[in-house]
Amino acid sequence: MQKQKQHAAKATCAETEVADPGFCSLHGTRGLTPGIQAQVEPVLMEELFQYMKTFRSQINDVADQAAKLSVEEHMLCTTVETLQKDLDLAKNETRQVKEETDQMTKAKGKICSQIMQNQRKIASFESDSSTLSQTLKLMQQEKLSLSAKLVDQSAYYEKVGQDISAQLTEQQQFPEFQNDVGQSVMKDFQAAQANFDKMEKLKSDLALQNTKLRQSVELVKTKMTEFKSELRQMDEKSLEEELQALLSDKSGEAEYVQSLQLQIMRVKVSQPLLLYVVS
C-alpha cells in the first residue's frame, strides 16, 4: 500500500510538471532555466510513463484481485447458502430421526407389553397344560379301572349267561316236568283263590251275624230289665260268655283268612316266575 501511495504521489507530481513546466517535481520549486528544464523533461516523462505503467499494472492487479475476491466471495456465499441448506436439511433429518426414535420407543414399549402379555399367556397355557396332563393321567387311570371293571362284569355276565344256558338246557331236557309243575301251581292258585272267595263270603256273613247277635243281645237286655237282678246278672254272664266264644271263633277265622291271604300272595308272586320258566 505504501508503494501504491508513492507511485500515486509521483504520478501526481508528473501531472503537475506537465501542466506547469516551471515546477520542479523533485523539489517542488520553480525558477529552472529553459535549457536545464529541457534536459530534465525527458527523464521526468520517462519516469512518469514508468510510474503510469506501474500504476496501471497495479490497478489491473487490484482489479484482478477484486474480481477474484468477488468470485471467491460469490463462491463463499454460495458455499454458505449450500451449507445453510445442508444445515436446515440436517436439522429436518435430525427432527425426523428424533420423531422416528420416539415412534420406535413407543413401538418398543408396545412390543414389550405384548411380550409380557404373551409371557403371561404362555405361563397360563403351561399351567393349563399341566392341569390337563394331570387330568389326562387321572382319566387314563379311571379308564384302566373301568376297563378292569368291564372285564370283570363281562366275565360275570358271561358266567351268568353260561349258567342260564345250562339251566335252559336242563329245562329243555325236562319239558313234561315243567308242564306238570305249571299245571299243579295253577290248580293250587285257583283252589286258593276259591277258598279266599269263600272266606271273604264267610267273613261278610259272620259280620252280618255278629251285628244281628248284638242287636238281639241288646233286645234281650232291654227285656231282662223286667226280671230280678240275680236272674238278670246270671243271664248277662251267660250271654257275655257266649259272645266271647263267638268273638274267639271270629278271631280264629280271621287268622285263618290272613294265612290264606299270605298263601295267595306267595302264589301270585311265584306264578310269573314259573310261567317264565315254563315259556
| Contact status, residue 11 vs residue 51, Cβ threshold 8 Å | yes
Of the candidates 254, 246, 253, 252, the one whose C-alpha atom is nearest the C-alpha of residue 217 is: 246
Place of cell 435430525: 94
Q: Tens of pLDDT along 56-75?
A: 999 999 998 888 888 988 99
Per-residue confidence (pLDDT) for residue 234, from 0 to 100: 47
Cα 161 from Cα 169, distance rounded (Å): 12
Q: Tens of pLDDT along 107-158?
A: 989 999 989 988 888 888 788 778 877 877 887 787 777 777 767 766 776 7
Cα 168 from Cα 174, distance rounded (Å): 10
pLDDT, mean over the chain: 69
Cα 255 from Cα 253, distance rounded (Å): 5
pLDDT above 90 coverage of the chain, percent? 13
Q: Tens of pLDDT along 220-245?
A: 566 555 544 544 454 555 555 655 56
- Provide the residue ranges of all domains of the chain, joining segments of one domain with +: 177-278
| Dihedral sign from CA coordinates of 185, 186, 190, 191 | negative
Listed range (83-92, 118-127, 148-157, 249-258) with the worst mean pLDDT: 249-258
Q: Is the pTM of this model over 0.75?
A: no
Cα 223 from Cα 232, distance rounded (Å): 10
Q: What is the mean pLDDT of residues 80-96?
A: 92
Read off φ and ψ for residue 29, nearest 5 degrees: -125, 165
Of the candidates 43, 50, 44, the one whose C-alpha atom is nearest the C-alpha of residue 17 is: 44
Q: What is the mean pLDDT of residues 185-202?
A: 67
Q: Tens of pLDDT along 25-40?
A: 444 444 445 555 566 6
DSSP symbols for 98-123: HHHHHHHHHHHHHHHHHHHHHHHHHH
Place of cell 449450500: 82
Per-residue confidence (pLDDT) for residue 26, from 0 to 100: 42
| Contact status, residue 21 vs residue 41, Cβ threshold 8 Å | yes
| Contact status, residue 235 vs residue 224, Cβ threshold 8 Å | yes
Cα 171 from Cα 255, distance rounded (Å): 38
Cα 248 to Cα 200, 244, 253: the distances in Å are 18, 6, 9
